[in-house]
Amino acid sequence: MNIDGACHCGNITWKAVANPDMVAICYCTDCQTFGSSAFQYTARIKRDDFEITSGKLKEYGKLADSGNERYYSFCGDCGSGVHTSNIDGQGLLSLRLGGCHQKDLLPPKLQIWCCSANYCEAYHLPFIHPGLNSYSRLEDHYNILDEDIYAGQGSYVYKPQLDEEGRCFPAFDGITDKWDMAAEYCAFFPNVLFGVHKDHCYAILLTPNGQGKTTERVSIYYASEEAAYSPSFADMRSANTRLWKGIFIEDIGVVEGMQRGRYAPSYDGGKFSPKMDTPTHFNAAFSGCDIQFIVKDCHV
């Protein structure tokens, strides 16, 4: 696909031939630092398929996370990044697509360097989890961690509206005021995710069914038999199930993107590991694709 673009000030312009299947979100620490962000939007392209059509790039060299010596090429006037490349002239270019004029036609197909992804930021980005962000933003969360057993996050603002009248399920007995607007979500390694709220909780059991396929079974539990079985709460149970199912389905693209990144031609064989943000353990433990959901109402 023929593409072209420019830096922010317009002094640097370029054209290239890109493979849409090689468009990626890169979480390496260099991309995070250069872009002042949790990731960079990039495409891996052949050197011969890229050409500067006006202006002259400035270059900065350093040793990358991969162990390769890399040039970061950018506009010396506005600072916009254009691409990174190996100093030895070998390998592909990583073209920054922020200034690409056709970026609306190039959705990310891969996620790479997930070992250094900031799990909290990546998981809560609005374009990844719009449903979650509608009531629970990144800054409303805190980390929970026991490195050998579990990792997860808590929320300070959990209070979804399940019906127009503002009705609530009965709460668990003996809980503190903290839980009026709190929730916690922990992954218990290797294959269980547990979510706790003042009036219900859910458990997700992951079952690997073979290479490239994982099934998630989701069960929702309520604090009382009335909440779990009474017809008076049937509409709220349905609304709650729809809410969680929508959020869990949003996870599929994230997880499948990670898997495609691991099998991409440019993946260098690195391993998922905790880095920067300790709850990245969650990403390491739960990476699968072709996820199916079975969501049901039930009672402890």
CATH number (domain holding residue 50): 2.170.150.70
Q: How confident is the model at residue 65 (pLDDT cuts 50, 70, 90)?
A: low
124 plus 267 within the same structural domain: yes
Instruction: Give the phi and the psi of residue 199 in degrees, each rounded to 5.
Output: -125, -5
- Judge whether 113 lies within some domain: no
Domain closes at, from 108, 134, 157: 108
Contact indicator for 193, 218 with CB cutoff of 8 Å? no
122 plus 262 within the same structural domain: yes
291 plus 162 within the same structural domain: yes
Q: Residue by residue, what is the 3-state secondary structure of the chain?
A: CEEEEECCCCCCEEEEECCHHHEEEECCHHHHHHHCCCCEEEEEECHHHEEEEECCEEEEEEECCCCCEEEEEEECCCCCEEEEEECCCCCCEEEECCCECCHHHCCCCEEECHHHCCHHHHHHCCCCCHHHHCCCCHHHEEEEEECCCEEEEEECCCCCCCCCCCCCCCCCCCCCHHHHCCEEEEEECCCEEEEECCCEEEEEEEEEEECCEEEEEEEEEECCHHHHHCHHHHHHHHHHHHHHHHHHHHHHHHHHHHHHHHCCCCCCCCCCCCECEHHHHHHHHCCCCCCEEEEEEEEC
Q: How confident is the model at residue 135 (pLDDT cuts 50, 70, 90)?
A: low
63 plus 139 within the same structural domain: no
pLDDT digits (tens, 9 = 90+) for 108-129: 887 777 655 544 445 556 666 6
Of the candidates 84, 105, 99, 89, the one whose C-alpha atom is nearest the C-alpha of residue 23 is 105
Of the candidates 45, 57, 39, the one whose C-alpha atom is nearest the C-alpha of residue 16 is 45
Q: How confident is the model at residue 63 (pLDDT cuts 50, 70, 90)?
A: confident
- Judge whether 251 lies within some domain: yes
If you average pLDDT over residues 182-189, what whole number do you get? 87
93 plus 48 within the same structural domain: yes
Instruction: Please tell me the predicted confidence (pLDDT) of residue 210.
Output: 67
- Judge whether 51 lies within some domain: yes
pLDDT digits (tens, 9 = 90+) for 141-185: 787 877 667 778 888 888 877 888 888 999 999 999 999 989 998
139 plus 65 within the same structural domain: no
Of the candidates 88, 107, 89, the one whose C-alpha atom is nearest the C-alpha of residue 18 is 107
Name, in order, each residue with C-beta under 8 angstroms of 132's C-beta and a sequence gap of 6 or more.
124, 247, 250
220 plus 257 within the same structural domain: yes
Distance CA 189, CA 171 (A): 28
63 plus 212 within the same structural domain: no
Give the domain extent around 256.
118-299
Instruction: Please tell me the predicted confidence (pLDDT) of residue 222.
Output: 95
22 plus 133 within the same structural domain: no
37 plus 148 within the same structural domain: no
Domain closes at, from 75, 108, 141: 108
Instruction: Please tell me the predicted confidence (pLDDT) of residue 115.
Output: 57
Q: Range with the lowest mean pLDDT among 32-46, 54-68, 277-291?
A: 277-291
Would you say residue 202 has pLDDT above 90?
A: yes
If you average pLDDT over residues 53-75, what whole number do you get? 85
- Structural domain total, the chain: 2
pLDDT digits (tens, 9 = 90+) for 225-258: 999 999 999 999 999 999 888 888 877 776 676 6
Would you say residue 92 has pLDDT above 60?
A: yes
Domain closes at, from 108, 131, 156: 108
If you average pLDDT over residues 193-199, what whole number do you get? 93
- Judge whether 246 lies within some domain: yes
Instruction: Please tell me the predicted confidence (pLDDT) of residue 258.
Output: 62
Task: Compute the mean pLDDT over every residue in the chain, rounded to the nearest whole number.
Answer: 78
- Judge whether 236 lies within some domain: yes
pTM (2 decimals)? 0.52
87 plus 132 within the same structural domain: no
Instruction: Please tell me the predicted confidence (pLDDT) of residue 270.
Output: 44
If you average pLDDT over residues 125-146, what whole number do you get? 70
Instruction: Please tell me the predicted confidence (pLDDT) of residue 163.
Output: 82
266 plus 195 within the same structural domain: yes
- Judge whether 38 lies within some domain: yes
- Decide the pairing of beta strands 213-222 and 292-299: parallel
- Judge whether 203 lies within some domain: yes
